[in-house]
Amino acid sequence: MKWLPLAVALITPAQAALRFGCSTVSIQRLDPIVEPGRTPSSHLHQIVGGNAFNATMAGDIGEEGTCTTCTFTEDFSNYWTAVMFFKHTNGSYKRVPIMQNTALPNGINGGMTVYYTQQDFNSNGNQKITAFKPGFRMTVGSPTTNTLDGAKGHPGLRFVCLSDKGTRFPELPDFPTKKCKAGIMTVHHFPSCWDGKNLDSPDHQSHMANTAKEAFTPAGPCPASHPVRMPQVAYETLWDTTQFDSMWPKDGSNPFVLSYGDNKGYGTHADYLFGWKGDSLQRAMDSSCMFQACENGKPLKSQSVAAMNKCAAKQAVKENIDGWLDRLPGM
């Protein structure tokens, strides 16, 4: 991705975007949105954010928990995706380690990069951007998507074969089919238009409408059915696939699989549970700060990488997720 030259940034009065790192808060089989109360849930997730994460999450998440793994200390939201595994030709699985992204302070433990952009990467388009309300949640994508056309229909859900950690193109609708020199990045863009009424919906998606296009290109206008423009939330997760280079199958087939048993990647999906304290996210959206410039109380309170890494959620599901496994957890 190309960063905006400073001179251009300064003449754009309506800029404001958050980009920040969150270290891993937990890797376990829980899913308080899709399978609330179920311990364990069907497949393994990596979760970042507030440490109140649990099988059931209700009420104002910003008021629950005691710490967050994210840079901004008022952000107790939880962000999660499926986890990537390597499948050996002998049938065993091993979890692919998660690496930190570029352009973040050093030392973040795994985790992901989270974005809250506005109209597009650089501007709010002079629109009012309305922060999510306490209790708000949504998902994007579905583990049941099992065709390439289905995957192409979700332009915000992509894979990038990394030559280095800064590679951003091309974006693929499915797993790369060759070894990637610096790993694989998964990208999840959420819809940003709200119906203005529902904090959730039975499918966790229909209260939102998607205008997201690939790679932070300008979001289209919100439809009349979903007129309220919310922040454009996106995740980037970097997977260190390189340590499996010597074990690739001889027939060249992709050896990576997402934790719900998907070796194509068509069903890539992500979950978002809003948990910013008070009006902190609205204050950030109303300000004109960009990225790191939003830290240190301008306008958001922030913390050190060491403090982020220290925060963890309780492990409610105790099972072996590392080492060589004879099956994917829960599968």
Ligand X SMILES: *[C@@H]1O[C@H](CO)[C@@H](O)[C@H](O)[C@H]1NC(C)=O
Q: Which residues bind ligand X (CB under 6 A)?
A: 52, 54-56, 88, 90-92, 314, 316, 324
| Phi–psi pair at 233, nearest 5 degrees | -90, 135
Smallest distance from the beta carbon of 108 to ligand X, in angstroms?
A: 23
Smallest distance from the beta carbon of 91 to ligand X, in angstroms?
A: 6
Q: Which one, 257 or 305, has the nearer CB to ligand X?
A: 257
Q: Which one, 87 or 229, has the nearer CB to ligand X?
A: 87
Smallest distance from the beta carbon of 81 to ligand X, in angstroms?
A: 21
Smallest distance from the beta carbon of 61 to ligand X, in angstroms?
A: 11
Q: Measured between alpha carbons, how far is 87 from 326 in angstroms, rounded to an integer?
A: 10
Smallest distance from the beta carbon of 323 to ligand X, in angstroms?
A: 8
Residue 64, CB half-sphere, CA atoms under 13 Å: how many? 20
- Token pair listed for 265: 């990647």
Q: Which one, 247 or 293, has the nearer CB to ligand X?
A: 247
Smallest distance from the beta carbon of 88 to ligand X, in angstroms?
A: 4
Q: Which one, 23 or 113, has the nearer CB to ligand X?
A: 23
Q: Measured between alpha carbons, how far is 21 from 69 in angstroms, rounded to an integer?
A: 8
- Token pair listed for 89: 């030709």
Q: Assign 253 to helix, strand or coil.
A: coil
**Cα torsion at 92, 97, 98, 103 (round to 10°)?**
-140
Q: Which one, 90 or 126, has the nearer CB to ligand X?
A: 90
Q: Which one, 92 or 127, has the nearer CB to ligand X?
A: 92
Supply the DSSP string of 91-153, one letter for each residue. S-EEEPPEEPPTTS-TT--S-EEEEEESSSSS--TT---PPPPTT-EEEES-TT--SHHHHHT
